[in-house]
Amino acid sequence: MSLSLIRPVFHSMVKETRQLYRVLAIESSCDDSSVALLDYDENTGMANIISHLKSTLNSSLVGGIIPTEALLHHQQTMPLLIDRMMQIPQFNDCPLDLIAVTRGPGMVGPLSVGLNLAKGLSLGLSTSVLGVHHMLGHLLIPRMSSSDTSNQINFPFISLLASGGHTMLVLSKDVLNHEILIDTIDIAIGDSLDKCGRELGIKANMIAKEMEIMASQRRNKVHSVINLPNPLSMAHNKNKLSFSFASYITSLKNQIKDTLIHGTNRRDSLLLNQIAYDIQESHFDHLIYKIKQWVQKNIHLYDTEPSQMGLQFIASGGVSSNKRLRYRLENELKPYFKSFHYPEQNDLCTDNAVMIGWAAIELVKHFKIKEGCTIYNSLDILPLRKWDLTDLVNISRWNKQK
């Protein structure tokens, strides 16, 4: 027997007596439990973060995220975060209009915790639920911080999504239409940086961030003892428009056996800082090399110089908070793009509920303007381990109400 639970309980985007559209957002796709409360003012196009709470699983001692531990972390922390959120004075000063929750892609167990919590809140608070694509949140979050400036991010734009789980170059034509220009054929850049960092003996929850600090402390006079390759740059595969990072960890392991693992060099901070710098630079070399390659292969699409086309460049995801990466993107890709944009705060680069809430606002706004309707999901939606960013509408199963 098929059972479809539909709760078309929502408020209009703009009311005569109330100008704000309020969203409670939930993110639990990996190891970050996060909830956020946002108010959106349609008259100004600006969103205000009323509260943003987050708890991250500490996996520094186990060398990676264990799915069962992540599941238990969400089960333990998510109810507490929601309880804290509901205790803030602003929570009850006006009703919720929508509950936005990450539906995928991600780990099914953690996703289920957030999704089931959203369904329960929907029943208890008589508020509709909207399932949101995790990567859409990363794509759109820089637009939230640009909405109150003269330098707004407008469609179409190019995005580099660089995190522990994804590395892709995306052309976004509007809120619903995204084309993946370059994707990784193996692992993500953040995953590769973390694995390389562990080989250097870094024990931390955010290994790539610690490696960034080490790299920034290098001394120019110290010579590196490693030479990492630029993947997919040899004659037989240099024209392949893909990212690839799996070879870095293999190459690093082979090269540091006799320099860091043995002897006293492992405690040589100057040498370690230099190696951290070289690891970081080699990853960024590859990113920029492939982005340039895409531009050069598609130069025929430009009627004029690429920078005159007005395409804006966005970098988002956890790795995008790296200051050195931002510097190199802006300097080396400057001829090809009009301007460069990032999430306003570093904590909006990593996984967070604010980006899920903002993506939901953008989706609701899009359907209100284009089709004159409001969208929501039935309560029978399930988490999605995989979810193609290029097929948002068909998989989302959004219900519409005029």
**Residue 11 predicted with pLDDT over 60:** no
The per-residue pLDDT for 207 is 92
pLDDT tens for each residue of 303-352: 556 555 678 999 999 999 999 999 999 999 999 999 999 998 999 999 99
Mean pLDDT of the chain: 88
pLDDT-derived band at 268, boundaries 50, 70, 90: confident
Q: Cα separation of 362 and 137, whole Å?
A: 10
Query: What's CA 164's distance to the chain center, in Å?
Result: 9
The per-residue pLDDT for 87 is 96
The per-residue pLDDT for 212 is 95
For residue 244 the two structure tokens come to: 């690839």
Which phi-psi region, left, alpha or beta, contains residue 257 (left: φ > 0; alpha: ψ -120 to 50)? alpha
| 345 or 63: which leads in pLDDT | 345
Size of the chain in residues: 402
The per-residue pLDDT for 9 is 47
pLDDT tens for each residue of 272-290: 898 999 999 999 999 999 9
Tell me what the mean pLDDT of segment 34-63 comes to. 91
* Crossing angle for the helix pair 269-297 and 323-332, to the nearest 10 degrees: 40
Place of tokens 């570093």: 346
Q: Cα separation of 247 and 189, whole Å?
A: 11
The per-residue pLDDT for 222 is 63
Query: What's CA 171's distance to the chain center, in Å?
Result: 15
pLDDT tens for each residue of 118-169: 999 999 999 999 999 999 999 999 999 765 555 789 999 999 999 999 999 9
| 302 or 344: which leads in pLDDT | 344
The CA-atom distances, in angstroms, between 222 and each of 201, 215, 225, 227, 313 are 19, 12, 10, 14, 34
Indicate the DSSP class of residue 206. Answer: S
**Residue 16 predicted with pLDDT over 60:** no
pLDDT-derived band at 366, boundaries 50, 70, 90: very high
pLDDT tens for each residue of 98-125: 999 999 999 999 999 999 999 999 999 9
Give percent of the chain above pLDDT 70: 86
* DSSP one-letter string for 65-116: --HHHHHHHHHHHHHHHHHHHHHSGGGGSS---EEEEEEESS-HHHHHHHHH
pLDDT tens for each residue of 373-386: 999 999 999 999 99
pLDDT tens for each residue of 227-263: 888 887 765 566 779 999 999 999 998 887 766 544 4
| 200 or 269: which leads in pLDDT | 200
The per-residue pLDDT for 350 is 95
Q: Cα separation of 230 and 284, whole Å?
A: 10
The per-residue pLDDT for 240 is 78
pLDDT-derived band at 370, boundaries 50, 70, 90: very high
The per-residue pLDDT for 302 is 59
Bridging pattern class, strands 339-341 and 312-316: parallel
Amino acid at 144: M
